[in-house]
Structure 1
Amino acid sequence: MLGQSNGYSPETPQIWLCHQITRVPDSLPDWLTSFERDTLAKLEGPRRGEYLSSRWLIRQGLSNISGEPAEQCQPVDGRPVASQFPAGWHLSLSHTQGLNAVVIGPTPLGIDVEPSQRKPDWQGVAKRWFSPVEQEWLLRANDPYNFLKVWTLKEAWLKATRRGIAGNLQTLEVRKDFELYGDQPDRRWHSCCCSVEGFLATLVYQTNNPDREASWPAVTLLEPPPEDYNLAAAEPLETIWEPLYHRTIRAKR
């Protein structure tokens, strides 16, 4: 797919991406909140540029989805899981190796991005943290890319359900062919995964309308932040992305 996905619905989350810049200007942008300034002051090295780029991207996304001026948009303090203004939007942030991603929508959601070529000691991780069912098909397939898809899915699930990794990685079971089972039987959840810009991006989101067919989110790569991080509307860049799967997460049984 080229650029944004077609057939976008307001009920479907939207994903924005941007490559980070490492420079942090001596004069910080006026749009930073006091909390964000205090947080930035505690960071060192590349993490400063990563943090500032991510907060710039959040405001670009909120402005795009709401129509409000980017200078007025901001996330809640702390972990950015919702919008302070305009109120009512859920959001999730992920960043890795020079890329930021933010997803925004009307319902709880989570996103995780990882480099497609990342090859950790995935067999050891799977044996320690994954269910016997997951271990069986992953180790038999012996494909690190499959592991990466499962790992980003679990990370996105935990963000969407507001839980940490400890003790919760098996609350979502990923079976062969990405048949998904979660521990949230009273809610309707979807997951989708795509490859974009050499990265794997996995999204989990809740839907308010169980009868509506799930659709792909819009995926937009924005030009990187300017060196002064001003919030003039960023131009979208031509982007080719490949959908990998879209699944409903069923009640665990």
Structure 2
Amino acid sequence: MPTSADIRLYLCRFSQWQSVPQAQLLAALADEERCRCQGFSNPTRQRSYALSRYLLRQRLASRLDRQPSQLRIVQGVHGRPELAEGNLHFNLSHSGDWLAIAVGPHPLGVDVEADRPPRQPLAIARRFFAQAEYAYLASLPADTLAAAFWDLWCLKEAVLKAHGGGLQAGLDRFVVQGQPPRLLENHLDTQEYRLANWRLDGLHLALASQGATALPALTPQRLTP
């Protein structure tokens, strides 16, 4: 049986999966997921939800030696989806045409953002980030500010998703260092978090995992039909 003792990180583009029939995607989902999918009025939203859950279930099933449709995904603390049985954790993120999936043995969070000019990054950082993070961004040359902002944003989102509280837990309750990525201060909880991030294909991608064990040297795996 495949082990759950390591972290896997996957990336895919929704547009590359257009040839896969919707019926095939829905067949791998649970009844409540199919109902939720059909409740979306926007066909694009239906497709992205079905494909996200299909790919997630495929990845989980391959690790647990189960059929994708047999897995029970429930609402956990703070409404975060989690497996009803077993000790395997997961998290998803999407931005535009991209989907990121993280799977591992500890609570984790992943965030992906398309590399685009942020709107008023310093104003956002001043209002929502920790003071040390704002000061760091404010010290940067204008031509490096956008990329550094997205690096920090993704890392902070990943930490909050690993924590489980989401943005409501407070972006200013911890301090992240971008390079190398690490958590300098943590007023969210008493957990240890390990961080990693990447810039690739016009994307910013970040991963956070609870636990004292250092993250392995991960390379995001591309999922194609």
- Same-fold status (TM-score > 0.5): yes
How far the C-alpha of 1:38 sits from its partner, in A, is 2.2
Q: Is residue 92–residue 103 contact of structure 1 (8 Å, CA) maintained in 2? A: yes
Quick one: which amino acid aligns to residue 115 of structure 2?
S
Deviates more, 1:135-144 or 1:75-84: 75-84
What is the percent sequence identity of the aligned residues?
25
How far the C-alpha of 1:182 sits from its partner, in A, is 1.7
How far the C-alpha of 1:148 sits from its partner, in A, is 0.3
Q: In 2, distance between residues paired with 1:77 and 1:31?
A: 19
Q: Is residue 11–residue 221 contact of structure 2 (8 Å, CA) maintained in 1? A: yes
Higher relative contact order (CA 8 A, sep 6+): 1
Aligned counterpart, 1:41: 38
Q: Assess, with a 3 A threshold, how the Cα gap between structure 1 residues 145 and 195 changes in structure 2: closer, same or farther.
A: same
Deviates more, 1:75-84 or 1:146-155: 75-84
Q: Does 1:106 align with 2:108?
A: no
Aligned counterpart, 2:28: 31
Q: In 1, distance between residues paired with 2:110 and 2:91?
A: 6
Aligned counterpart, 1:62: 60
Aligned counterpart, 1:214: 215
Aligned counterpart, 2:195: 191
How far the C-alpha of 1:56 sits from its partner, in A, is 1.0
Query: In the TM superposition, what whole-angstrom CA distance separates every residue of 1:152-193 from its partner, at most 9, and x where no partner exists?
Result: 111111111111313511122124745522225632210000
Aligned counterpart, 1:171: 173
Q: In 2, distance between residues paired with 1:84 and 1:118?
A: 40
What SS does the aligned partner of 1:32 have? coil
**How many matched pairs?**
212
How far the C-alpha of 1:90 sits from its partner, in A, is 0.8
Aligned counterpart, 1:203: 207
Query: In the TM superposition, what whole-angstrom CA distance separates every residue of 1:45-87 from its partner, at most 9, and x where no partner exists?
Result: 32111101100110121123333333434533585632246x3
Q: In 1, distance between residues paired with 2:72 and 2:178?
A: 40
Q: Unaligned 5+ residue runs, structure 2?
A: none
Q: Is residue 13–residue 218 contact of structure 1 (8 Å, CA) maintained in 2? A: no
Q: Is residue 194–residue 208 contact of structure 2 (8 Å, CA) maintained in 1? A: yes
How far the C-alpha of 1:25 sits from its partner, in A, is 3.4
Q: Unaligned 5+ residue runs, structure 1?
A: 1-8, 225-253
Name the structure where helix makes up a greater proportion of residues.
2
Query: In the TM superposition, what whole-angstrom CA distance separates every residue of 1:224-244 from its partner, at most 9, and x where no partner exists?
Result: 4xxxxxxxxxxxxxxxxxxxx
Query: Any residues of structure 2 matched to 1:1-253 within 5 Å, and which?
Result: 10-20=4-14, 21=17, 25=22, 29-43=26-40, 44-76=42-74, 81-84=81-84, 87-141=86-140, 142=142, 143-166=145-168, 168-175=170-177, 177=179, 178-180=181-183, 181-183=185-187, 186-207=190-211, 210=212, 212-224=213-225
Q: Is residue 54–residue 100 contact of structure 1 (8 Å, CA) maintained in 2? A: yes
Q: In 1, distance between residues paired with 2:55 and 2:98?
A: 11
